[in-house]
């Protein structure tokens, strides 16, 4: 059985990988930032999805950080805690990938239920396993 410490390390590792991916993706997008017509211009759907992919790395990394802290003070069972951690990890990396795929080919939006579903499951399990006072 995995320990709470291992769970926290896993979530922290995913979080910091997400932060690193956000920095790298931001640097790559930033190279083209001043090109007014890059990806159809600032307001184009393609460019908005690329920006969303970049920022989702950070936002979802912070959810992993929050969960690593939450499990330290909220007594989740080991099984739901690991399911939550894994669902957050899936969402952290599939959300930006889906954004980029959709920016490339709009019909690939059919894959958005993967990150959205995993994140809904994670948050639902956090709320559903919250101890009652």
Give the pLDDT band (50/70/90) at residue 41. Answer: confident
pLDDT at 4: 84
- Most distant CA pair in the chain: distance in Å? 56
d(CA 115, CA 98): 8
CATH class, domain 4-128, is mainly alpha
Per domain, the residue ranges of the chain are: 4-128
Tell me, what's the pLDDT at 2? 65
For position 81, what pLDDT does the model report? 94
Q: Is 77 left (phi over 0), alpha (psi -120 to 50) or beta?
A: beta
Stretch (H or E) spanning 33: none
């Amino acid at each position: 059985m995995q320990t709470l410490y291992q769970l926290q390390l896993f979530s922290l590792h995913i979080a910091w990988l997400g932060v690193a991916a956000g920095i790298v993706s931001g640097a790559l997008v930033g190279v083209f930032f001043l090109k007014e017509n890059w990806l159809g211009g600032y307001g184009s759907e393609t460019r908005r999805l690329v920006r969303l992919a970049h920022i989702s790395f950070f936002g979802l990394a912070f959810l992993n950080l929050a969960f690593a802290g939450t499990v330290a003070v909220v007594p989740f069972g080991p099984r739901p805690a690991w399911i939550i951690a894994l669902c957050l990890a899936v969402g952290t990396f599939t959300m930006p990938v889906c954004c980029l795929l959709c920016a490339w080919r709009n019909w690939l939006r059919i894959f958005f239920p993967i990150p959205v579903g995993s994140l809904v499951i994670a948050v639902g399990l956090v709320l559903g396993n919250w101890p009652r006072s």
